[in-house]
Structure 1
């Protein structure tokens, strides 16, 4: 794929067949984390279990023509912080923030209709959603109020950020607010520097590991978008360009040590007489944005999976051409690897343009040769069972005697879930969501999906524990662990998880065509 002088993605492990075996259900690893705060058992991860229906506040309704001063009195009398309004059939919201920042400053007059101040449409969330889901929605959209809806979609109340007032809510929202308010790259960097300590605090507050990953991704998304806005590169602003995140960040399951992998897609000229964008100018501008992100503490991919690399920055038509070439000959030009990279992509700007990346992934007529080649790529990631206490460990170098839990534990499950997503025609979501859809499509049995999901969540939690311990001690986080440092129960559970994953890989390897017929 990469020509002379170009940087391509890092090499990945090869693949080979393994003997079929039937795994038993792997018991979940009991989690015991060191904490820096006093946390009772009943308080563990209430974000992930408590429903919004328990937290909703009543609604103050107003008409679109009501004067702003009258609505302010209504809100104050009800001792609430917002009101809802309908205008032309669309539901809107006005909050205390709007009164402070637009009315108090004189931008909007007190006698104007409330519709001039309200934001349309409101962001909604179902009453049965968890606090976790509400917090993520607030972080992703930089809001502090959500309208809670009932089974028929009708508004039943409002939930505010302050209603989710635990530290695990407050700290990410403070970072998100600081990023949104930043007027300089240095101010974004100052906010982003609080991210590692916040991840440690979330871990100590016993927030679920995958929820920590999703919060992490939302905060990084916000920082990248803000840097793009502040940098305001002419070459990026003058064209329709989609900035795309890749890898674990795109799946919303990064770890503290995860790199920032990025790509670019820009629109083709509207007509034959229009001047095409200059790729060199766009990539140079992307390089300056990446420099700003480094300044903010983020680490662009050292292997070259970056938006300033010609391999990962192209016009939409060039991406489509490359995808067709990969499907004609998956083994040529790093086509398999590039398809896997693109399947894990999520646009941060110009979403319709950015989604054209994944739109070209699905082979015409579900070509089995392409799907088989993609499966071989996915099965190239093997759990490391075998040598030292039933683990394959590094035999030399700085990690001698250690096990890479990212490469050997997470990657085999992530890769298989990615293949299932490509086959199913829907690549959004994180790894557990992809596994669930794989079972829904008949590509996995329910037991296989549960086993893989449990193994992924437990290994992810183990890696997060390890990286947070390093952050707390001021060390560089790593995904390498020494099996001898694990307690007996964790080591046994990890070994059983690896064996179960290998057995599922073997069954899919042998019976994949029959499973494909179920989709």
Structure 2
């Protein structure tokens, strides 16, 4: 049970010698001492359950304590004199960790509001307490609520909770005039068209402006004549984030919400009121309005600021990757549209395909371009070659102008090798799988992660199905893939210390991309190819691999947690660089991290290292 602290005078003496509390002004020290309570714990006792760290500030007076994340199996040892809980433990870890006594121990507790008041009077103390919110003016508070807290709700709130009214519907044969009058009377910007209880289409105020007024269309015609038929929809149980992505990717602002076969309502871009997240929707909309390369290049500069906002909101790396990639997709599609406007419609069917991080929806503000072009098998070099060469160069050069530098390895659609008919692509993959020499293995790491961006997606879909059939259970090929994947190792030394880069352009740092994230991407790719799984995103692949039995559910969760932690470190690191006007990179100095975060980093690397060893043992015999 809590007991009063020692006499204020003696306790104040102890505080005055502590590395943190000694910075409290002498006039406040005695009063602060009286606000503590002391509690004793036997070995093995739980000091604070998972989620409880946010409720108390703890000073370990005597003994040892272990902070543990029971979900990821991570732990960190604390010794006498160290602090834990609210203020001392970073915000994004407060809700996941618990504290357990390793030895008999004694802890002095302080209420969070006392620490907040102390830091408001002495703001310099915030350097020791990263999770104490700084004092805000009312204006700053309202701004932060719009820019930071709200987006987290967007990423987790079910869409059904954002529906403001019952669905407003009309029959498809109602006149355009009657539909417009209903929209005016009900003050809505869209109406759903329903026939025999089934969703038929939708109309918006834009349709009335662009398809009726601008074209002088007879308002007595049926509303079905101007409707978007078979519109894209979202499930009422999906997170609002799904609606955001759908709007950003397809440049739409109204999406019907379905509850099974029942129409639940409509969600609009204005319903997603979080400024920085919905800016992805409006940013994509602005992209499609641009008619010049200069206009696209200018608007692409906002991607860095979008990532900054997402980092400030503590949005997940999974969500950030999808949102940032959606803008890259929009830029790519708009460049393709401008190319077709300038050079004329494509003479045959094609599909523009993203590879690498864009394909996996894992892009950040620091990304180059990996893409290719799959052409219909009616392709004739003499007839069609010059068109697609000029077309693809326009798009790739346009992406470069928008900040997505040309791939150093020239893995782009503007390179003749990666602009081929479907039959030739099938030959590529057949050779790579059956003759996995070093260059082929390098290429598979790029071109086994593919996603259709624009054009006839069935050209890619059939090709991917064929490839996955060839790789499923192909132990010899997979053994080579594992060997290639193991070239990227986490930077852990013999005794578990983090090995920093020596020399070169970034000495004394770690490469979060190639030493941390890429090894997890490689593991997930092997799992997916081993069981013929169609998922492309790394986290989705891990989940699918666990369901298929390629990896245990616990190991998949461990890798997902490690990926999320490393990717968020990378995003936050780049956001800090953008804030100070530096070009974003992947090289993190450990000085940017707290001791707590460094321990978490070691554990993430350890998870990857362990599962690399498991995969190596599984396929070792197939390598000889």
User: Which TM-score band (shorter chain)?
Assistant: 0.7 to 0.9
CA contact 1:108–1:117 (8 Å) conserved in 2:
no
Partner Cα distance (2:394, 2:601) in 1: 42
Q: How does 1:294-313 map to 2 (within 5 A)?
A: 294-313=400-419
Given candidates 237, 253, 263, the residue that maps to 1:128 is 237
In structure 2, relative to structure 1, the CA distance for the partners of 1:44 and 1:328 (3 Å cut) is: closer
1:282 aligns with: 388
Q: SS of the residue aligned with 2:310?
A: helix
1:292 aligns with 2:401: no
Q: SS of the residue aligned with 2:74?
A: coil
Partner Cα distance (2:615, 2:232) in 1: 41
Larger strand fraction of residues: 2
CA contact 2:348–2:378 (8 Å) conserved in 1:
no
In structure 2, relative to structure 1, the CA distance for the partners of 1:364 and 1:465 (3 Å cut) is: closer
Partner Cα distance (2:219, 2:243) in 1: 32
1:141 aligns with: 250
Partner Cα distance (2:236, 2:156) in 1: 13
In structure 2, relative to structure 1, the CA distance for the partners of 1:106 and 1:284 (3 Å cut) is: closer
- Cα displacement (A) at 1:187: 2.3
Question: RMSD of aligned C-alpha atoms?
Answer: 2.7
Partner Cα distance (1:212, 1:189) in 2: 21
In structure 2, relative to structure 1, the CA distance for the partners of 1:365 and 1:132 (3 Å cut) is: closer
2:594 aligns with: 487
1:341 aligns with: 446
CA contact 1:242–1:353 (8 Å) conserved in 2:
yes
Which of 52-61 and 101-110 deviates more? Answer: 101-110
Given candidates 69, 72, 82, the residue that maps to 2:190 is 82
Structure 1 unpaired stretches of 5+? 1-22, 515-519
Which of 450-459 and 288-297 deviates more? Answer: 288-297
2:269 aligns with: 161
CA contact 1:193–1:296 (8 Å) conserved in 2:
yes
In structure 2, relative to structure 1, the CA distance for the partners of 1:156 and 1:485 (3 Å cut) is: closer
1:8 aligns with: none
1:359 aligns with: 465
Partner Cα distance (1:427, 1:384) in 2: 30
1:12 aligns with: none
Partner Cα distance (2:189, 2:495) in 1: 60
CA contact 1:87–1:115 (8 Å) conserved in 2:
no
CA contact 1:243–1:354 (8 Å) conserved in 2:
no
CA contact 2:150–2:274 (8 Å) conserved in 1:
no
In structure 2, relative to structure 1, the CA distance for the partners of 1:226 and 1:447 (3 Å cut) is: same
2:358 aligns with: 249
Partner Cα distance (2:376, 2:268) in 1: 39
Q: SS of the residue aligned with 1:108?
A: coil
Partner Cα distance (2:275, 2:241) in 1: 13
Q: SS of the residue aligned with 1:395?
A: coil
- Cα displacement (A) at 1:275: 7.0
In structure 2, relative to structure 1, the CA distance for the partners of 1:360 and 1:47 (3 Å cut) is: same
1:71 aligns with 2:179: yes
- Post-superposition Cα deviations, 1:455-477, rounded to whole Å, max 9, x if no partner, equal 00000000000011111111011
- Cα displacement (A) at 1:109: 2.2
2:55 aligns with: none
Q: How does 1:441-456 map to 2 (within 5 A)?
A: 441-456=548-563
CA contact 2:492–2:602 (8 Å) conserved in 1:
yes
Q: How does 1:14-29 map to 2 (within 5 A)?
A: 25-26=73-74
1:318 aligns with 2:408: no
Q: SS of the residue aligned with 1:45?
A: helix
After TM superposition, the score normalised by the length of structure 2 is 0.73
Q: SS of the residue aligned with 2:566?
A: helix
1:6 aligns with: none
- Cα displacement (A) at 1:193: 2.3
- Cα displacement (A) at 1:190: 2.7
Structure 2 unpaired stretches of 5+? 1-70, 77-89, 93-129, 135-139
Q: How does 1:459-470 map to 2 (within 5 A)?
A: 459-470=566-577
Partner Cα distance (2:472, 2:572) in 1: 44
Partner Cα distance (1:367, 1:105) in 2: 59
Partner Cα distance (2:269, 2:288) in 1: 16
- Cα displacement (A) at 1:42: 5.9
In structure 2, relative to structure 1, the CA distance for the partners of 1:405 and 1:141 (3 Å cut) is: same
1:49 aligns with 2:156: yes
- Post-superposition Cα deviations, 1:195-222, rounded to whole Å, max 9, x if no partner, equal 2222212322333232121111111101
After TM superposition, the score normalised by the length of structure 1 is 0.87
Partner Cα distance (1:365, 1:241) in 2: 27
- Cα displacement (A) at 1:267: 1.4
Partner Cα distance (2:579, 2:614) in 1: 41
1:175 aligns with 2:283: yes
Q: SS of the residue aligned with 1:110?
A: coil
Partner Cα distance (1:153, 1:502) in 2: 46
1:200 aligns with 2:305: no
Partner Cα distance (2:212, 2:72) in 1: 63
CA contact 2:172–2:200 (8 Å) conserved in 1:
no
In structure 2, relative to structure 1, the CA distance for the partners of 1:374 and 1:176 (3 Å cut) is: same
Q: How does 1:417-436 map to 2 (within 5 A)?
A: 417-436=524-543
Q: How many residues align?
A: 487
Q: SS of the residue aligned with 2:144?
A: coil
- Cα displacement (A) at 1:189: 2.2
Partner Cα distance (1:387, 1:188) in 2: 49
CA contact 1:316–1:356 (8 Å) conserved in 2:
no
CA contact 2:151–2:274 (8 Å) conserved in 1:
no
In structure 2, relative to structure 1, the CA distance for the partners of 1:161 and 1:27 (3 Å cut) is: farther
Determine which structure has more spread, i.e. the larger CA radius of gyration: 2
Q: SS of the residue aligned with 1:237?
A: coil
CA contact 2:339–2:391 (8 Å) conserved in 1:
no
CA contact 1:236–1:285 (8 Å) conserved in 2:
no
